[in-house]
Structure 1
Amino acid sequence: MQRADFIQLYLKQKGVNISLTEPYPTFLTLFQKKPKPRLFESPLKLFFLQSVLGSTIWGGFMWLTLWQFQKSSVYLLYGALFFGVTTGSLLAVNVLLTKKRLKIHSWEQWLKDSHFD
């Protein structure tokens, strides 16, 4: 079992949401050898990533399936932005509350305290 898999399993046993035990799925993780789980990322960074990527992906999907057949409106753009900001807020709040519950401050300190270094 690799270290990342063991850390995910350990966090799941501590009661962490499964989605927070995996790295954020972006091109940024391609350039990192050992990406951190979402739980250890900055909530502000996760908010902006989810807001931008969520709005773009959801807006693109909606345009491909429904919006191309409707008259264009600024409200469609507002809907996509609302979706991205809402999901970004939910992710950031989820990370903040989980960090507070488990008393996690930083990735390096948690690795040291949990004897993963």
Structure 2
Amino acid sequence: MPDLTPPDGETDFYFVPAADPEQAVPRIVELVSRRIPRRFGFDLIRDIQVLCPMNRGGVGARSLNIELQAALNPVGENKVERFGSTFAPGDKVMQIENDYDKEVYNGDIG
């Protein structure tokens, strides 16, 4: 188990505890939309990527995508609904399956 005690001085690692998904999701949205860009000067769309180990559940990719889209790129008039999800111009997407004919590969981001 890693030592999660905050070190003295400058660091680029922070542990933010959350007791459950209901507490974790708003903290993740706050970190991505405000705290990380402000602290490090990152562009919140281009420079930040949220990784999670699962698709389903309160802190799974599907749930986080909905919450992050609402905070970072709210859906307007121009939207496309496919596969149970809504996509809008400016959304960050990741290819999750290789498509050799189109030369897009698992992990490609657009």
Q: Same fold (TM over 0.5)?
A: no
Scaled to the shorter chain, the TM-score interval is under 0.3
Q: Please say which structure displays the higher CA radius of gyration.
A: 1
Point out the structure with the larger strand share.
Answer: 2
Point out the structure with the larger helix share.
Answer: 1
TM-score (norm 2): 0.25
